[in-house]
Homo-oligomer: A and B are copies of this chain.
Amino acid sequence: METERVRAPNIRDVARLAGVSYQTVSRVLNNSESIRPSTKQRVLEVIAEIGYRPNQAARALVTSKSRTLGVLSAQTAHYGPATSLQVIEAAARAAGYMISTTNLISSDYESIVESVEYLINQAVEGLVVISPQVLVFDAIKELSVTIPIVTLDSSGRKEPRSLSVDQIAGAKAATRHLIDLGHTEIVHLAGPQDWIEADARMQGFLDEVNDADLRTHPPLLGDWTAEFGYHAGRELLPYRDFTAVFAANDQMALGLLHAFRESGLDVPRDVSVVGFDDIPEARHYWPPLTTVRQDFAQIGHRAVELLLEEISGGTRTETARILPKLIVRGSTAFHT
């Protein structure tokens, strides 16, 4: 029966029990070469036996590397960001990094600055910005952040390292689809304009509508929620000067479907609706939603890849570009 162990075992405890110096133990831990296999074996046995775990704080202190990545996100309760986040966490872990997350609740400048500072204080080695809002860039600039950053961008901002999901192309594809079906009066239910993604989708929509010389309906600015989509739908109804709506995400599209159905309109016979994201539920909405698929998992994965590459001194500056894909389902039909 031993006495109560009050202190966690450290590298020197291991060394003593294995009959080697602490430096040898360190070498084993860091997979250094030029260690005799038998020695390594012995050390590993002692480690397993006494349940030694390297002290990350001590490591971080001496190497001045936190092995932590910061993620600045928003809307983490939504499918897209949540999925990306999940993949980022897994990818980072696989690479021996941990993740520190901040979820932006309000989008005022102050809280953004606070979040970025929080991450900086964690000594994160790199930063992933998910679904960035415009102000995030300002905050990063003002704080003169010097660590590598990857933004899951979408615009023409031309940050040196951004992972660009071509939202504009996606929005254009969605709009083009409606035009090809014969629709000439198309309304866009946009996202909040301080979101880069929302802005890009609106841009794509406007571009395509202009190219086709159609009348431009002023877009409605929403907040991504189904609730908003529902109310927007109800407000649109009295006018009936449109035959199709392109919503900036699937949730808002769902709200539209609800509002239209409730008032006796049939989708897609009377109105066509297109969403964006292709969340897993979209194909089970009624009618199944035509939408634009983004591969959130791939986005998260590439983001970590890019970031780690830059942290380890890579110099590649091209921006990765991911193309979203139009998924045609039952919520769109020919305008007759």
B-contacting residues of A (Cβ < 8 Å)?
8, 53-61, 64, 66, 76-79, 82-83, 85-86, 89-90, 93, 98-103, 105, 118, 120-123, 225-227, 229-230, 251, 254-255, 257-258, 261, 280-281, 283-286, 288
Copy number of this protein in the oligomer?
2
Q: Which residues of B contact A103 (CB under 8 A)?
A: 86, 89-90
Contact A122 B98 (CB under 8 A): yes
Residues of B within 8 A of A76 (CB): 82, 85-86
Q: Are A86 and B90 in contact (CB under 8 A)?
A: no
B90, A105: Cβ atoms under 8 Å?
yes
Contact B57 A123 (CB under 8 A): yes
Q: Are the CB atoms of A53 and B120 closer together than 8 Å?
A: yes
> Given A56-B122, A76-B82, A254-B284, A93 and B102 touching (CB < 8 A)?
yes
Chain B residues near A121 (CB-CB < 8 A): 53-54, 56
Question: What are the residues of chain B within 8 A of A257 when measuring CB–CB?
Answer: 284, 286
A106 to B286, CA, bound (A): 31
Bound-state Cα–Cα, A22 to B167, Å: 52
| Chain B: minimal CB distance from A61 (Å) | 4
Q: How far is the CA of A87 from the CA of B163 in the complex (A)?
A: 27
Nearest-CB residue, chain B, relative to A251: B281
Q: Which of B55, B101, B229, B286 contacts A89 (CB 8 A)?
A: B101
| CB-based contact A118/B93 at 8 Å | yes
Residues of B contacting A101 with CB < 8 Å?
89, 99, 101
Closest 8 CB pairs of A and B: A57-B60, A258-B284, A57-B61, A226-B284, A77-B82, A82-B82, A77-B83, A286-B286
